[in-house]
Structure 1
Amino acid sequence: MRALLCAALFAGLSILPVLPVAHAQEAPSPGGPPPASAAPPPADDDLPQGGTLKVRVNLVNTYFSARDKGGYLTGLHKDDCQVFENKEPQTIKNFTQEKNLPLTIGILLDTSGSMQNVLPLEKDAAADFLRDVIKPKDEAFLINFDINVDLLADYTNSTRELRRGLDKAEINTGAGTGSVTGNSTPRGTLLYDAVYLATHDKLRQEAGRKVVVILSDGDDQGSQVKLKEAVEAAQKANTIVYVILIRDSGFSFGGGYSMSFGGGAMDQLTRETGGRVINGGNGKHLDEAFQQISDELRTQYLLSYTPKNPNIDGTFRAINITCGNGVKIQSRKGYYAVADSTTE
């Protein structure tokens, strides 16, 4: 089912095959790209006898940001925080601030009819954000979604190429065309399908910090993938999802179209992956919304631990991080204990 979905939506696009890689248990929520593994170097007691280095596959990496009433905290240390898995305390093995760790960003643009008048604002704000955030070791890609899901720009470090990709985005109302979902109506906004493809197909094999930023009114129509599956795909790819809600005030939501403006679905998608929903209004607050994301990315920490439960059973494990009274932690809510291969 998933394979058919990917083939239908990304038909004609160059998508790399899914190959076994040496993840250090990068299960769900926050993170980016480059290094061959997102896992920090193993401790001395993790090294096998005989000189062959094998990466521990059960090291859980979680990116998080912390803030109090005064703003984001940048001076935390390992002893300031605790991590719990399924309410059981774990031993923190690595704790670092990761503002300079390579980053992979996916920008997902809603190009359905409801975005008609705000799409130009989305393009400009996204281009400014990428120029500000992308560093020499970072990469980004662009996807637009409406009744189809299309790759506008593949992985690149060039903000010029990304701007060209953004300029290619056009509104598609589906008039006179069929829906790739197989539904009888051509109307649709395949938001969940776009999230699944961005995280499962594009980001799951990447290491480091990985972020998806969605610009949309938050309403999905016609996706084959359900919200739960989109959330799970993002969690398994260890990807933080942000949603900037933006609404075209001149668009009429008639004919049974539900204008939920995000609602609980977008809250769940972002909360479960360590991101959040940010209100972009009618486009006037887009620069401010992107700036909030940029500030959070610059103040992230990476916390790693080897779970006391060693079973690789595919179950979901809840993660809770605390760093003292009055400190609000923004991080993924858990990970899936999925088996990955080792590397030599």
Structure 2
Amino acid sequence: MKRLLVTFIFTTAITLVAQNNNVPVIRVETRLVNVPVNVEDEHGVAVAGLATDSFTLLEDGKPQKIAVFERQSETPLSIVMAIDTSESVLTQFRTEMDAAKRFIHTMLREQDEMDLMAFSDAVDEVVSFTNNDKRVISGLSRLGKGDATAMYSAVYLAAQRLGESSKKDALRRRILVLITDGGDTTKGGTRYTDAVEQAQRAGAAIYPIIIMPIFSDAGRNVAGEHALIQMAEDTGGKFFYVTRKSDLDTAFAHLSDDLRTQYLLAYYAPQHKRDSGSHSIEVRLNDAAMQAKLKLRYRPAYFPDAR
């Protein structure tokens, strides 16, 4: 009787090799989809102590078995910090850099990695992914400056780099920290929709830190701020406003807490025909009273053809 060797290919890309060339190989691809979830009360305080059976996870409205569950996730982080270096933010630039240094020093653990980008007229990768906080901090002194703000291009390129990190570890959490005063001022560059889709394909959560002008004009254009807020909502991230210099450290502290208090849920996606469309993700709390009063934040979709 002929034997069949079944090879399961996970997102971690583990492949079994047949020792006997006469043994046919069946390849079955399964894709592990990770869903970091933040649960907060009405005051924005993280809710701890939930268990696997506290949650229901659905793809396209159909319940999925939770294959991985972690509280206060210690899974590795891949973080891209993209800093707006256009002329409009230069008045607070030194304060931004000082706060960023403190965040980098306290945030990076041995299992984490960070990439540093600067964007103005163009997007520059200043430091590629590393877990050496000194290298990243040193890169802050080499940020180029310009006039325009290629924000959507920065999001797109940062998401591409984060997508590459997912090939190394399916459960790695991918984060884009975007420090800007809001608004893409380039013409003919990356579109908003393309930037958001690229972030969703990478499974990257966007955390904008929005620098408000010291003297806010009631008639100013707030479209850029609204775009940043929508980006956060569409990727499971969170936005922070900074109106005073002292708010920067507070924003970074809240961001750090947000990442440290996540639950990590993951499931094996159903078999899909190869397509470029997205599939919806929904997470619910099984306790109706908790579902009614608590806020859940998570990635709302994933693309099966993306890693």
TM-score bracket, shorter-length normalisation = 0.7 to 0.9
1:210 pairs with 165, 168, 174, which one?
A: 174
The question of 1:141 aligning with 2:115 is answered yes
User: Structure 2 matches for 1:1-344, cutoff 5 A?
Assistant: 24=11, 37=12, 56-69=29-42, 71-97=45-71, 99-173=73-147, 188-200=148-160, 202-207=161-166, 208-222=172-186, 224-249=189-214, 259-260=221-222, 262-308=224-270, 310-323=272-285, 324=287, 325=291, 326-338=293-305
TM-score normalized with structure 1 length: 0.74
Q: Provide, for residues 78-113 of structure 1, a one-character-per-residue CA deviation record: whole Å limited to 9, x for no partner.
A: 110011222222222222235321111111110111
Aligned residues: 278
Q: Provide, for residues 217-246 of structure 1, a one-character-per-residue CA deviation record: whole Å limited to 9, x for no partner.
A: 111111611111111111111111100000
Which of the two has greater strand per residue? 2
CA distance in 1, matches of 2:37, 2:241: 21
Amino acid of the residue matched to residue 74 of structure 2? N
Amino acid of the residue matched to residue 234 of structure 1? A
CA distance in 2, matches of 1:237, 1:171: 28
TM-score normalized with structure 2 length: 0.82
Amino acid of the residue matched to residue 315 of structure 1? G
Q: Which runs of 5+ in 1 are unaligned?
A: 1-21, 25-36, 42-49, 174-187
Amino acid of the residue matched to residue 338 of structure 1? D
**Shift of the alpha carbon at 1:163?**
1.3
Q: Provide, for residues 263-309 of structure 1, a one-character-per-residue CA deviation record: whole Å limited to 9, x for no partner.
A: 32112211111101111114330111111110011111221223346
Match of 1:33 in 2: none
SS in structure 1 at match of 2:221:
coil
Amino acid of the residue matched to residue 192 of structure 1? Y
SS in structure 2 at match of 1:205:
helix
SS in structure 2 at match of 1:220:
coil
Residue pair 1:312, 1:337 contacting (<8 A) in 2 also: yes
Residue pair 1:140, 1:157 contacting (<8 A) in 2 also: yes
CA distance in 1, matches of 2:229, 2:42: 22
CA distance in 2, matches of 1:53, 1:69: 50
CA distance in 1, matches of 2:140, 2:250: 19
**Shift of the alpha carbon at 1:314?**
2.0
**Shift of the alpha carbon at 1:252?**
9.3
Residue pair 1:60, 1:307 contacting (<8 A) in 2 also: yes
Residue pair 1:107, 1:214 contacting (<8 A) in 2 also: yes
In the TM superposition, structure 1's runs of 4+ consecutive aligned residues that sit over 6 Å from their partners are 52-55, 250-254
SS in structure 2 at match of 1:279:
strand
SS in structure 1 at match of 2:209:
strand
CA distance in 2, matches of 1:285, 1:68: 22
**Shift of the alpha carbon at 1:23?**
6.8
Q: Which runs of 5+ in 2 are unaligned?
A: 1-8, 15-22, 167-171
Residue pair 1:272, 1:333 contacting (<8 A) in 2 also: yes
Residue pair 1:65, 1:300 contacting (<8 A) in 2 also: yes
**Shift of the alpha carbon at 1:118?**
0.9
CA distance in 1, matches of 2:202, 2:227: 19
CA distance in 2, matches of 1:235, 1:86: 16
Match of 2:5 in 1: none
Instruction: Please identify, of 106-115 and 148-157, the stretch whose mean Cα deviation from structure 2 is larger.
Output: 148-157
CA distance in 2, matches of 1:212, 1:206: 12
RMSD of the alignment, in Å?
2.7
